[in-house]
C-alpha cells in the first residue's frame, strides 16, 4: 500500500490560534483553562472551561458570510485554511481534474449545538408564527463543516463527517489515511472541530458528574492520573492535518512533518459512557494499530493518552496500555491537562501534538498531576511537569468516546 505523510497543520485552540503558538504553549506546560465567558455560568456547578481566546472569524470569512456558520464550522474553516496554506497548496490555480483526488473528512461530536440551543430558545420564548432561521439546519448538522471546506476550495474527492463522540477526529484521520493508501485519493484534509461551551452542554456534563468543579482553581482542574482528580475540563477549537500520498508530496517538493503508519479502531462494548475496567477496548485499538503499522510495543517512544482526568477512564486506559506494553516502559503524556477536552476535536489537536513531537524530538508534559493515583498500574513512565527532550521516532495517539468507541493512530519520524 502507499505511504502517507503529513504536509500541513492548522490549529484553533485554547492555547493559541496558530500551530506555532499552540505548540509553544504545550511544550511550556501552560493551561488553557479559565472562567467561562461565552455565557453566564454562575448557576452551574462548573464555572470554567478551556475556551478559544481572541478568535476573529473575519480573518478567514467575509463578514456577511459569518451568519451562515455555527462557531464549530468557523473554527473548521480557520484551521483547515491554515493547514492548506501550510502544505503549500493554492487550489485556485489547480485544474479540477487534480482536485477530483483531493477530499475532506471532518469530525464533530456535537455539531452546531450552540445554534440548536439558540434557535429552540427563541422558539419557546416567542409567540405567534414560529420563525426559524433559514440557516438553522445547515448551521446545526455535524457534516456541514466537511461540506463547507470542500465547497470553499472546490475539492471534489471523498467528503464526509465522522461521529464517534470523543474519538471522532482520530477516526477521521485514520479514515483519511486508509483512503490515500488504498489509492482512492492523493490528498485529504482531515481533522475536527467543536464549540460545545454552551449551557446545555455544560449542564448535561454536570448532570452526568463528568466535569471538574474545581471553581477556585480552573488552571489546575484538569489533572489526569492524580488521585484528587474530579472530572474533565470541557474545551473547544479545531485541528486540521493535510495527509498526502508520499510520492505526490515528494514530487511537488512539499515539506513533510511526519508519516502516519498505523490506525486501529475497536469498541469497549461495555457501557454508554463508562470504559471497561479491564481496558479491553483500549487494548484492542492499540493492538490493531501496532499490527497495522507492523510495529511492536518496544518501538513506541510516547503515548499521547486520552486521559481526560476522570476517575474510571484514566485507570482503565492505563490498564489497557499495560495489557499490550507489559513491562516495556513507554513514556506517557496527557495533554488534556493543558488543552482541556475538546470532545470530537480532541484527536485532531492531539495528532498535531504527536506529529510535532516526532518532528522536534520533544515529549510533552502532563501538568497538575501532584499525587499519582495508587490505583494506577505500576511501572508507568508518566512525563510529569516538564517536557522531555529526547529522540522520538514513534508516537501512539489514543482517543475514546461515549458509546465505547476507541481509535488509535501512530505517527513516525519522517525519513525519505
Q: Which sequence positions are flagged as catalytic?
A: 166
Q: Is 37 exposed, middle or buried (0-12, 13-18, 19+ CB in 10 A)?
A: exposed
Which cell is 336 given? 488534556
Q: At how many degrees (to 10) do helices 346-360 and 168-181 cross?
A: 60
| Other CB atoms within 10 Å distance of the CB of residue 59 | 9
Are 366 and 226 contacting, i.e. CB atoms less than 8 angstroms apart? no
* Of 107, 48, 28, residue with least CA distance to 335: 28
Contacts of 265 (CB under 8 A, 6+ apart): 167, 171, 174, 285, 288, 405, 406, 407, 408
Got the DSSP string for 350-392?
Answer: HHHHHHHHHHHTEEPPB-S--SB-TTSPSS-EE-BSS-EE---
CA distance linking residue 140 with residue 71, whole number of Å: 10
Q: Pick from 413, 415, 407: which is nearest to 395 by CA?
A: 413
Q: Which long-range contacts (CB under 8 A, 24 or more apart) does 268-275 make?
A: 268/400, 268/404, 268/405, 268/406, 269/404, 270/404, 271/404, 272/402, 272/403, 273/208, 273/210, 273/402, 274/312, 274/313, 275/312, 275/313, 275/316, 275/317, 275/400, 275/404
In the sheet with 4-12, reading across from the earlier edge strand, the strands are 159-162, 102-107, 187-194, 237-245, 4-12, 258-267, 405-413, 394-401, 302-304, 331-333, 381-382
Closest Cα partner for 366 from 390, 383, 346, 388?
Answer: 383
Q: What CA–CA distances, in Å, run from 214 to 202, 277, 297?
A: 14, 26, 36
Amino acid at each position: 500500500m502507499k505511504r502517507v505523510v503529513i504536509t500541513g497543520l492548522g490549529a484553533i485552540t485554547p492555547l493559541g490560534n496558530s500551530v506555532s503558538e499552540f505548540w509553544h504553549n504545550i511544550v511550556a506546560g501552560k493551561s488553557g483553562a479559565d472562567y467561562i465567558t461565552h455565557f453566564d455560568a454562575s448557576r452551574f456547578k462548573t464555572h470554567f472551561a478551556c475556551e478559544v481566546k481572541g478568535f476573529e472569524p473575519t480573518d478567514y470569512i467575509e463578514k456577511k458570510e459569518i451568519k451562515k456558520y455555527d462557531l464549530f464550522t468557523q473554527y473548521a474553516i480557520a484551521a483547515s485554511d491554515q493547514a492548506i496554506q501550510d502544505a503549500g497548496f493554492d487550489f485556485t490555480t489547480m485544474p479540477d481534474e487534480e482536485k477530483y483526488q483531493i477530499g475532506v473528512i471532518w469530525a464533530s461530536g456535537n455539531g452546531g449545538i450552540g445554534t440548536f440551543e439558540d434557535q429552540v430558545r427563541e422558539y419557546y420564548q416567542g409567540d405567534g408564527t414560529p420563525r426559524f432561521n433559514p440557516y438553522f439546519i445547515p448551521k446545526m448538522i455535524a457534516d456541514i463543516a466537511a461540506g463547507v471546506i470542500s465547497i470553499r476550495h472546490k475539492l471534489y474527492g471523498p467528503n464526509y463527517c465522522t461521529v464517534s463522540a470523543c474519538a471522532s477526529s482520530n477516526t477521521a484521520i485514520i479514515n483519511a489515511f486508509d483512503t490515500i493508501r488504498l489509492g482512492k485519493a492523493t490528498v485529504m484534509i482531515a481533522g475536527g472541530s467543536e464549540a460545545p461551551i454552551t449551557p446545555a452542554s455544560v449542564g448535561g456534563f454536570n448532570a452526568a458528574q463528568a466535569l471538574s468543579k474545581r471553581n477556585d482553581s480552573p488552571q489546575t482542574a484538569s489533572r489526569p492520573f492524580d488521585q484528587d482528580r474530579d472530572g474533565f475540563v470541557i474545551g473547544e477549537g479545531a485541528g486540521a492535518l493535510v495527509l498526502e500520498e508520499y510520492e505526490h508530496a515528494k514530487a511537488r517538493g512539499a515539506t513533510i512533518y511526519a508519516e502516519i503508519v498505523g490506525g486501529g479502531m475497536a469498541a469497549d462494548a461495555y457501557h454508554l459512557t463508562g470504559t471497561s475496567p479491564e481496558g479491553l477496548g483500549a487494548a484492542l485499538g492499540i493492538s490493531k494499530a501496532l499490527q497495522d503499522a507492523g510495529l511492536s510495543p518496544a518501538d513506541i517512544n510516547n503515548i499521547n493518552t486520552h486521559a481526560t482526568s476522570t476517575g474510571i477512564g484514566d485507570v482503565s486506559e492505563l490498564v489497557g496500555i499495560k495489557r499490550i506494553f507489559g513491562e516495556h516502559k513507554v513514556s506517557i503524556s496527557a495533554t488534556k491537562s493543558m488543552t482541556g477536552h475538546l470532545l470530537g476535536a480532541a484527536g485532531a489537536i492531539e495528532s498535531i501534538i504527536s506529529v510535532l513531537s516526532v518532528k522536534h524530538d520533544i515529549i510533552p508534559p502532563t501538568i497538575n498531576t501532584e499525587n499519582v493515583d495508587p490505583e494506577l498500574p505500576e511501572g508507568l513512565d508518566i512525563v510529569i511537569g516538564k517536557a522531555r527532550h529526547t529522540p522520538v521516532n514513534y508516537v501512539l495517539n489514543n482517543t475514546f468516546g461515549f458509546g465505547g468507541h476507541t481509535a488509535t493512530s501512530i505517527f513516525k519520524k519522517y525519513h525519505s
